[in-house]
Structure 1
């Protein structure tokens, strides 16, 4: 009897071990892993990726896991569509996707049929233009930059837009552009080395918060006519977003969206999109920049939605532009 008992116990132990391994295996199979590529570490958009990853994991009970990868920017994100075979989600401005599909701009020499497989999911916070001046005036017209020493950075979207606006509004001959990296902006403004700096990021942007916490600042607010002149998307930064800025600030932005490819299955795209919108309010409570996301921003998307994402919007009763279907 003791021999039988020992044999039985050994058999039972083996069975339990096999069942445990099977459960782990089934759990691993049930978990969907997605590569998420946005920006380089230390940037606002990388931080958004961290927050989004946590929200998706929590909202799906670990059924979907986003793995963050550093990126050098939107062009690299789109280029990697040519090589990625598994679930791949990335961020980029809609206009860049149009260029990729048309083999224009940075994609003129890197054509690929894979670009035609890019599909939209949902919006993320836009890149918003901030013109920050020293002084306790709340908001000021763009003409207030005349005669000022302004830091705009080098080689960034914000620097290119700032220079374009200076020329557009006849200020290019009246503004002295500082030759320094954008990261020096807050300290240079506080030390009186410059009169203003320009930065482009989602709002509230950390370097503007940092500056406003240590000195009075003023933000440039454009008129409706000036915004129309730029040809960019209008953006309102609500009053109270930054210390000392109690009025709404009217400026421009570059929409940014989360995209995937047709290789993602419909159910995964559906769950990813559903979880994003259902966790959006929780995200906004943690970090204010998510509060700017509304379904209306889908109107800035120009690429067809992934069928799984479209199914979510239809079931949720969210109006979707016909061009995205």
Structure 2
């Protein structure tokens, strides 16, 4: 086959994959994507991302990806630092901690080797309690559980870190003021249904599988709490990270009314030293195949190229910058390495 004919065939194959012409300097790799517990949103979205990479990039470019369950954002920082994973889904809050060497990551210092790839979806706070404990129907009811057993996430997870920050805004030290029952989303929901805990908090993209199952099984025996405007401000604690979010009526079984809560961003992080071409192709594959992701998990319905860099707490990887600039996204200085 002559050079021109071979080039034509390669271009046609690339077009079939939905990626256009591929840069020549890509390196074959099989990446690990760290997610969180299987009952939340991180894991199924991670599986969707990994599947997309395998389908679109592995056949022609040798770039594969596999999603693994983990304890969540806090552990994912460590997994990327120690090269046990090359990509990780994280809460915006943990990206902030990693970038500043603060909070639960203070002892580890600033994580110089972490970069952002893209915003994924909003992490919606779900505070759910036993309906027998409902008085106001808002966060005052959760505050009233001080001293009792609650499930706020696995140790070192983004879930427990998020809950520590939010409840810290209300004046609580969760490790001192509550009896913590550690576990992922599924076990936490089961613990509430079985009366082992009085309340849980499961921050994730809606709908959360474990919460759907909880409401289907427990009915009006559990209540999803609202936040007042004042409580939203208190929960954010001046970070400008959490914003108001409405969980629409009917999102969960038996949920007849909308619930007002808050949400923070989730994003895809990677290592700074990964090849630029590989990260470029992965970023491009994501945004040229959003329908593929959205067909797998509805949390990705919030994704769009217009919101790709909104609220990212870490500088962008050069490969992601290259793609975004190609499609006309203006990159602020704070997101440049």
The TM-score normalised by the length of structure 2 is: 0.69
1:152 aligns with 2:162: no
Instruction: Name which of 213, 221, 227 aligns with 1:222.
Output: 227
Contiguous gaps of at least 5 residues in structure 1: 1-28
Match in the other structure for 2:216: 213
Match in the other structure for 2:272: 262
CA shift, 1:191, in A, is 4.6
Deviates more, 1:210-219 or 1:194-203: 194-203
Match in the other structure for 1:118: 114
Task: Give the direction of change, closer, same or farther, for the CA distance of 1:110–1:61 in structure 2 (3 Å limit).
Answer: closer
Instruction: Name which of 40, 47, 51 aligns with 2:48.
Output: 51
Match in the other structure for 1:22: none
Instruction: Name which of 33, 40, 43 aligns with 1:37.
Output: 33
Q: Distance in 1 between matches of 2:311 and 2:73?
A: 17
Tell me, what secondary structure is at the counterpart of 1:200?
Answer: coil
CA shift, 1:292, in A, is 2.9
Q: Distance in 1 between matches of 2:114 and 2:164?
A: 32
On the 8 A contact 1:236/1:248 being kept in 2, the answer is no
Match in the other structure for 1:93: 91
The TM-score normalised by the length of structure 1 is: 0.71
Contiguous gaps of at least 5 residues in structure 2: 1-24
Deviates more, 1:289-298 or 1:184-193: 184-193
Higher relative contact order at CA 8 Å, sep ≥6: structure 1 or structure 2? Answer: 2
Instruction: Name which of 176, 189, 193 aligns with 1:186.
Output: 189
1:102-141 residue pairs with structure 2 within 5 A?
102-105=100-103, 108-110=106-108, 115-134=111-130, 140-141=137-138
Match in the other structure for 1:236: 245
Number of equivalences: 290
Match in the other structure for 1:68: 67
On the 8 A contact 1:129/1:201 being kept in 2, the answer is yes
Match in the other structure for 2:320: 309
Q: Distance in 2 between matches of 1:109 and 1:161?
A: 18
On the 8 A contact 1:31/1:65 being kept in 2, the answer is no
Q: Distance in 1 between matches of 2:273 and 2:199?
A: 46
Tell me, what secondary structure is at the counterpart of 2:254?
Answer: coil
Tell me, what secondary structure is at the counterpart of 1:300?
Answer: coil
